[in-house]
Amino acid sequence: MPVPIPSLPLPGKNDGGHDSRFFTTQKKGEMHELRMELHSTDRNVKVDAVKKVIASMTVGKDVSTLFTDVLNCVQTSNIELKKLVYLYLINYAKSQPELTLLAVNTFVKDASDPNPLIRALAVRTMGCIRVDRITEYLCDPLSRALRDEDPYVRKTAAVCVAKLYDIAPELVQERGFLDTLHDLISDSNPSVVANGVAALSEIAETSGKDVMKISTSVLQKLLAALNECTEWGQVFILDSLAKYTPADAREAEGIIERVTPRLQHANSAVVMSAVKVILSYMELMGSASSDTIRNLTRKLAPPLVTLLNSEPEIQYVALRNINLIVQKRPTILENEIKVFFCKYNDPIYVKMEKLEIIIKLVSEKNIDQVLLELKEYATEVDVDFVRRSVSAIGRCAVKLERAAEKCIGVLLELIQTKVNYVVQESVIVIKDIFRRYPNRYESIIATLCDNLDTLDEPQAKASMVWIIGEYAERIDNADELLDTFLETFEEEDPAVQLQLLTATVKCFLKNPEETQDMVQRVLDLATEESDNPDLRDRGFIYWRLLSTDPEAAKLVVLGDKPVIEDDTFKLEPNLLNTLIGQIATLSSIYHKPPEAFVVRTSGRGVMNLGVPDSSDVIEEGDEEDYENDEADQEDPVDLLDMGGMGLGNGAVGGGGGGGNDLFGSSGPQVQQEARISKVCPAEKSGGIDIYGGFRQVNGNVLMEFEFQNISCTTPVSNLAIQLNKNAFGLSPVNQQIICNPPINVGSSGKATVQLVANRSMLSPMVAGQPASPQIQIAIKNMATSQVFYFAANFNLEALCSPGGQLDRTTFIETWKNIDDGKELYSTISDLPSTDIDQIQAKFEAYNIFFIARRQALEDQEVVYFSMKTLTGMDFLVELTFKKGINACKICIKTENTAYGHLAKIAIENLLRF
């Protein structure tokens, strides 16, 4: 819930209504002049002086030196001046907590003022000052305000309880404020009821507990208040109703009947909240109420359509919500597809969303209309929109089997336009149509081959190459067509190279006499000339298949492929149900559950990189909170920890101890070391060279920094750090970095930041792509206010859990259960040592646990290890050493294939140092 800030006073008579004059540039010595004006006996001069201070504060100037002077102005009966002073106190209370205590007596006195506006202002300001020591003085005035005779004071106090809970939840429970909030739901004033509901909802989200507890009597009071309170009060009440589970279908129907009039409300937020309640309850009504559900379906369509006549921004939000609604209940808007046709003046983001909904609503009844519309869009000037429109035609073909031929006809017409990007997008979607309906529309391949020269984008090229390889036996000159691509094989995108390799092998298996030289050339290019490991691996696999068993190669390469499915309704049912319950929130716009993009923690000790109560972002569009309270963070303890279970049965050489000491006292003691490297040069970070690296100490993941002050004239003493979402879910426990002593020019200093793994900080993974080791970091120099951005590669061994050992039986079972296709191999040479005892001791320091060793051949020894990350990912390791050779073959097995290459790199690095 946003923190309400006392509004700026209206222009008074003394300023002629031109408060913009207070934002003029400060002249030299103005601080002294302001201080003199703040002590003036003339009330108008004093008000103007505080306005100047507020204006300077608003544009980012530091006016904290005037704190005591402004604080002295709080002793006044003038409401305008009091509001200004309170606004100043809220902003600077965090940096001057001791001085803020001097204003406590004024707050307490104002909380008993005869004027209800002043009473409410005092309580609200004390709630906004997020300083622990203020809270003890807040409780008594807040308790009185919650029972105040004036409804304005009561509704202000209700919101203040939620703020106090964010700072001191135990105090709220001890003083019985939660019970008082429940009493406010029965208040005679609807605005008080709405604020009470809002406060309880906020507390419920913060604590994760159901503190709302809607009973039958409370339900009736909420429904009664719904008709009388303000529009935002209605939103709070409707959101609470959406979380309530009715006792039966009859109760659900009764609530829906009371909520339905809100569908005609002028405020779009009220409309969407009402839609959320109705959709949630429709699920509970069951098949017995089919007539009622049908009537409700008819009632929901008009308000949703009306939202599309609003401003573009509201349209976009409405469309994102409608996208979810039509996935859940497509019948609601099945006859309204025309309202989603794009207008010429729609912004591009609205057009894109409309296209998505058109595809979801398209059916055999309206496909002719839709195809005409999409064909028209394909002649627009916006390239991205045209591409999406052509893609939409292909998706209609994949979705509707009977309409596929019509869609292909439209695509062929578009190809004839010879517009480069239209042709390329058409080729991409035709490949999907071929995969959806194999051996049905291959007659159009000749038309595609005629447009081969226009293809210059990787995805289009890869699609065309796939078509040539898949239908080589039907294309007379397939080998010649592939040969034209092979001339530039080394310059092509990896996706095109992979398709060329596969297509050439297909061509060879179908026509070996004429393509033997070509397949040999491609295999040479893939295995000897390429640096891409995926391409090399695939090349070696094909080479071995072709050289050992061509018939097996045919079964593998030319085997029947699964038909692709229509992905129109692509959200998982459980996720869709979750998002339906989040309609009219950010979740419904991002199409992600709240925990995927919000870290909710206690507000104490927050260290932000920017304005108080806000959060800087590393990448535009990301909206994450980075806070340092571990209590609400995802627990990093390994749930699969085997505890102190020993390996036993002779599985461990040298002691067979418990989980805390695998090797007893034998072997050399090795400490984890952070591999420090320069992560940000001085020219990018305000004259400071930044070196960084990661390691783990006592189960805590640490990032160690060294700051070298090259040319920053201001000593480096106080920094703030923030991490972007990353593949490991890491975020700082504390965002503040204190350099003590401060680092002057020419000197250096070190600092350590503890990191914690948090699921909500995980970056989205691209299917089929390996996890990135890169962590994007922002650091702000608090002295200069400069923010610098850089990235550092994380080493996975720093994330290994101390409780990650497996016993021998579990290891063997896990090894067998993991598919062989999830193995990663590499060989490294020039090792500093191949002494297995030394390697074992080194690995133990990094929480990589020895399992067993065996003699494979007369001159080969194989060693097995297990490692588990603090986030619960298991990796099984096999190392093979050959006597007399200073090298090692590595094999990694894991179900977490996206992270397998990072585990392999970690093992390689440990073996090398």
pLDDT tens digits, 806-824: 888 888 888 888 887 788 8
E-strand stretches of 183-282:
none
In this prediction, residue 6 carries a pLDDT of 42
CB 142 within 8 A of CB 160: yes
Phi/psi of residue 713, nearest 5 degrees: -70, -25
d(CA 302, CA 202): 32
Lowest mean pLDDT among 191-195, 294-298, 312-316, 622-626: 622-626
Q: Supply angle C-alpha 387, 391, 392, rounded to 5.
A: 115
In this prediction, residue 392 carries a pLDDT of 92
Q: Per-residue pLDDT tens for 785-804?
A: 888 888 888 888 888 888 87
620, pLDDT greater than 80: no
353, pLDDT greater than 90: yes
**The whole model's pTM is what?**
0.60
Strand order in the sheet with 887-893: 823-829, 887-893, 874-882, 860-868, 848-857
Burial of 652 (0-12, 13-18, 19+ CB in 10 A): buried
DSSP 562: P
Q: Write b or e for each residue in 877-911: b if 16 or more Cβ atoms lie within 10 A of its Cβ, otherwise e.
A: bbbbbeeeeeebebbbbbebbbbbbbbbbbbbebb
What amino acid occupies position 332? I
Its sign, for the CA torsion 763, 766, 768, 774, is negative
Burial of 282 (0-12, 13-18, 19+ CB in 10 A): buried
In this prediction, residue 569 carries a pLDDT of 62
Q: Per-residue pLDDT tens for 499-533?
A: 899 989 988 888 888 888 888 888 988 888 888 88
Structure tokens given for 308: 């599309």
Q: DSSP readout, 575-618? A: HHHHHHTTTTSHHHHHTS-GGGT-----STT---SSSTT----S
873 Cβ neighbours under 8 A, 6+ residues apart? 894, 896, 899
**Band of the pLDDT at 22, cuts 50, 70, 90?**
low
Strand order in the sheet with 774-781: 736-743, 716-723, 774-781, 786-793
Residue 701 to residues 374, 636, 674, 697, 876: CA-CA distances in angstroms? 53, 11, 11, 7, 22
Q: Is 724 helix (H, G, I), strand (E, B) or coil?
A: coil
401, pLDDT greater than 60: yes
Nearest to 732 by CA among 835, 574, 849, 615: 615
What amino acid occupies position 844? E
Structure tokens given for 769: 């792509």
Number of helices (H), then strands (E), belonging to the chain: the values are 35, 14
* Residue corresponding to tokens 């894109």: 352
297, pLDDT greater than 80: yes
Report percent pLDDT > 90 for the chain.
11
Q: Is 880 helix (H, G, I), strand (E, B) or coil?
A: strand
Q: Per-residue pLDDT tens for 449-506?
A: 887 778 888 898 899 888 888 888 888 788 888 888 888 888 888 899 998 999 899 8
**Band of the pLDDT at 734, cuts 50, 70, 90?**
confident
CB 859 within 8 A of CB 853: no
In this prediction, residue 2 carries a pLDDT of 43
340, pLDDT greater than 50: yes
d(CA 899, CA 794): 12
What amino acid occupies position 896? N
211, pLDDT greater than 60: yes
Give the CA radius of gyration of the chain.
34
845 Cβ neighbours under 8 A, 6+ residues apart? 669, 670, 671, 672
848 beta partners: 867
In this prediction, residue 389 carries a pLDDT of 93
In this prediction, residue 248 carries a pLDDT of 82
**Band of the pLDDT at 445, cuts 50, 70, 90?**
confident
**Band of the pLDDT at 612, cuts 50, 70, 90?**
very low
In this prediction, residue 390 carries a pLDDT of 93
